[in-house]
Structure 1
C-alpha cells in the first residue's frame, strides 16, 4: 500500500474520502490536506472505498458470467478486477508479511524482509493458497446465486480491517512509512460505529437475495473482520505494530474470511 497521489479532479468535497480513494485504489485524486487528522478520516472511509471497488468487481463478474456462462471465470474476473483496481498492493503486502512471519530472524530483520522487492517461498505459497480459496469461494457463491453479493461484502469487509487496524491502541512498527502515518489515527469509537454500519449494511444488502443471504452477509463481515484481527494481533506481537504491508495482508485475510462464509450452501 502506498500514499495518496493526485492529478485528476474528482469533485469529491470530503478530503478524507479523497485521500482514501487515492490511497486505496488506482484512482488519482487531488488531496488538499494530508495531515494526520485527514489520514484518520481516510482510514474511517476505507469501507466506503471497498463498497465502490466491490460494486465494480461484481459488475465485471456479472458480465463475465453472462458472456461465458462460467461461474469459475466470473469469479476470476471479479477478483482480478479487485487486484487491478488496487494495483495488487494488498496481495503484495500479504506475500511480504507471510515471508516476514515465516522467518525466524529478529524483529528488525523481519521488517527488512517486508521492504524487499522479491517474494520468498512463504509468500508464494500463501498467495497461491489465498487466491485459490478466494476463487473457490466466489465460484461457490455464484453457484448459490450470490456471487456478486459475496464480492461486495468481501470488499467492504477487507477495508473495514484497515479501519480497525488504525485505531489508537495499535502502534506503528516503523517510525516512517504508511504505517507510521495512519497508525492510531482512528478513534476507537469511530471504528466501532463504522463496524456496526458495515455489518448492518452488508446484512441489508443481503436482503436483496433473501433472509438467508442477509444473515450470511452480516456473519461474513463479522467473521472476516475477526480473522483480520487475529492476524493483526500476531503482527503487532511479531513486528511491534502495523506497516503498509500488514494493512494489505489484513485486507486479503478479511476478504477471504468473508468469502468463505458467503460460499456456504
Structure 2
C-alpha cells in the first residue's frame, strides 16, 4: 500500500494532470522521490501519444514543435522551469554564497532568469523542430524518465541546503533502498524504450548524454549554492532534457 501511496504522491506533486488517487503521507516523501522515473514514464507515454496525433493530423512542423515543447513544460506545471530560473538568478549573480542562497529563495524574477529562459526555449524549439520528423517513440519515452531519475538520485543522495524542504527527509535512515528503487525503475523503462526504439544507437547515446549532463549540471549547481534543493533538481532536469533533445536533433 505504501508503494501505491508513494507513486500517487509523486503524480500529484510533479504532474498537473488529475491524480487518480489523492492521498498524502508526510512520512513517505523519500518514497515519493523514488518514483520520479515512473512519473517521467507517465509524462513520456503521453508525449508519445501527442507525437502520434501530430503525425496523424500532419500538422505543420513548426506548429508540432511548439505543441510538443509546450506539453513537456506544462504537464509538470512549469515547476522545473521555475527551479531553472531561480538557480540561474542565484548562480549568475556571482555574489557570496549567503547572498546566492537568498536570491535562490527570492520570489522575484531577475534578468539572468529571463535571459537563460529565452535561450533554453530557443534551444528546445530549434532542436525539437529539427528532430521531429524522425523522432523515435522509444527516445521520447526515455527522455523524461532519465532526466527525472538522475535528478531524483541526487535529491536522495546529496546533502540539502539548510532551507531545503528535504532537510528532515535526508536524516531518515535506510535511504539506500529508495536509491535502489530509482535504479530499478530506470532499468525497467530503459529496457522498454530499447524495445520501442527504431534507432537503438541514437537512443542509447541520448540516454548517456542526459545522464552525464544531469550529473555535471547538478554537481555545478550544488557547489555554487551550498547543497541540494528542489530548485536544483528542476535546474538539472531542464539542462539534461535540453541536452537530450539536442542530441536527437544533431544525430
TM-score by length of 2: 0.86
Unaligned runs of 5+ in 2: none
Q: Which residue number corresponds to residue 153 of structure 2?
A: 164
Equivalents in 1 of 2:171, 2:145: separation in Å? 21
The residue correspondences of 1:139-150 to structure 2 (distance < 5 A) are 139-146=129-136, 148-150=137-139
Provide closer, same or farther for how the CA distance between residues 192 and 68 of structure 1 changes in structure 2, counting only shifts above 3 A. same
Q: Which residue number corresponds to residue 167 of structure 2?
A: 180
Q: Which residue number corresponds to residue 66 of structure 1?
A: 56
Say if 2:122 is the partner of 1:135: no
8 Å contact from structure 1 (residues 166, 182) kept in 2: no
Render the CA deviation track for 1:68-90: whole Å, top value 9, x for unaligned.
43233222212211222111010
Instruction: Answer with 196-205 or 111-120: which moved more.
Output: 196-205
SS at match of 1:174: coil
| 1:174 CA drift (Å) | 2.3
SS at match of 1:118: coil
Instruction: Answer with 56-65 or 17-26: which moved more.
Output: 56-65
8 Å contact from structure 2 (residues 14, 76) kept in 1: yes
Runs (4 or more) in structure 1 with deviation over 6 Å come to: none
Equivalents in 1 of 2:104, 2:44: separation in Å? 27
Q: Which residue number corresponds to residue 153 of structure 1?
A: 142
* Alignment RMSD: 2.6
* Residues paired across the two proteins, number: 248
1:34 to 23, 26, 34: 26
SS at match of 1:263: helix
Equivalents in 1 of 2:3, 2:170: separation in Å? 24
| 1:200 CA drift (Å) | 6.2
Equivalents in 2 of 1:197, 1:218: separation in Å? 16
Render the CA deviation track for 1:46-98: whole Å, top value 9, x for unaligned.
01001101121232233234334323322221221122211101011101101
Render the CA deviation track for 1:161-210: whole Å, top value 9, x for unaligned.
22221233x11112442x43555778456535634652663354244343
Render the CA deviation track for 1:102-122: whole Å, top value 9, x for unaligned.
012222221221222232222
1:245 to 220, 224, 231: 231
TM-score by length of 1: 0.82
